[in-house]
Amino acid sequence: MENERVRHMETEILSDNWYILKKIKYQYFNNNGVWENLSREAYDRGNGATILLYNKVKESVILTRQFRMPTYVNGNKSGYLIECCAGLLDKDNPEDCIRKETEEETGYKVTDVKKVFEAYMSPGSVTEILYFFVAEYNKDMKVGDGGGAHDEHENIEVLELPFTKALDMIKTGEIKDAKTIMLLQYAEINKLLI
């Protein structure tokens, strides 16, 4: 459904270097009954998918650790984040994307993935919607070392952690990635590992 409070949109590309940064000028009909001229920037990096791999028997989860430059320039002294496996959809549907990313990043080949929700991660400035999945894993699903796609310059460390330790790492600040926190809390609320 089209928003009747928005009109006269004009879009200008500010950068098309890594992803696309757009400046959008528009009129918005505010709560006082007045049309305002506004301008916002929106970063379009495409949509993505993320997954929490969990093992009920071992009560463990698979996470990754990798360097994230934006966090480094914003005060994360090491630049490393502990995260759930994730990737951009490119032209894949979310389920195919997350299966491919899981194998590339973690070395586990999962087939039975369950979508649990979707969310905008930073709607004030980023267009991305993220599709969230969970899947059980076991040692028989390990088909490679993981580590990411070398042609994409990914250097990903695969971590197998006790679920309770991963939850504690949220409290200690060792895990600061929003998608990972959301999936770990989903697992806790829905008792996936109990």
Q: For 18-31, what is each residue's pLDDT tens digit?
A: 899 999 999 999 99
Query: Beta strand pairing status for 35-44 and 20-29?
Result: antiparallel
Q: Helices (DSSP H) in the chain: which residue ranges?
A: 69-73, 94-106, 163-172, 178-189
Burial track 79-89 (b if 16+ CB lie within 10 A, e otherwise): eebbbbbbbbb
Confidence at 92, pLDDT banded by 50, 70, 90: confident
The answer to whether position 167 is within a domain reads yes
133 with 59, same domain? Answer: yes
pLDDT tops 90 at residue 101: yes
38 with 110, same domain? Answer: no
162 with 66, same domain? Answer: yes
- Rounded-to-integer distance, Cα 89 and Cα 131, Å: 10
18 with 59, same domain? Answer: no
pLDDT tops 90 at residue 167: yes
The answer to whether position 105 is within a domain reads yes
160 with 98, same domain? Answer: yes
Question: What DSSP letter does each residue of 141-193 carry, written as one string?
Answer: GB-S-----GGGT---EEEEEEHHHHHHHHHHTS---HHHHHHHHHHHHTTTT
Longest dimension (CA), the chain: 62
63 with 38, same domain? Answer: no
pLDDT tops 70 at residue 144: yes
Tell me, what DSSP letter sits at residue 107? S
The answer to whether position 79 is within a domain reads yes
pLDDT number for residue 81: 97
pLDDT number for residue 110: 96
The answer to whether position 194 is within a domain reads no
Task: For residue 100, give Cα distances in angstroms to 22, 29, 41, 63.
Answer: 29, 43, 31, 16
pLDDT number for residue 165: 98
Is 0.85 topped by the overall pTM?
A: yes
pLDDT tops 70 at residue 153: no
More confident residue, 89 or 2: 89
CATH assignment of the domain containing 178: 3.90.79.10
**Domain membership of residue 126 as a residue range:** 48-189
The answer to whether position 94 is within a domain reads yes
67 with 162, same domain? Answer: yes
The answer to whether position 1 is within a domain reads no
Q: What is the pLDDT of residues 112-143, one digit of tens each?
A: 999 999 999 999 999 999 999 999 999 999 99
114 with 129, same domain? Answer: yes
Count of structural domains within the chain: 2
In contact, 159 and 119? CB cutoff 8 Å: no
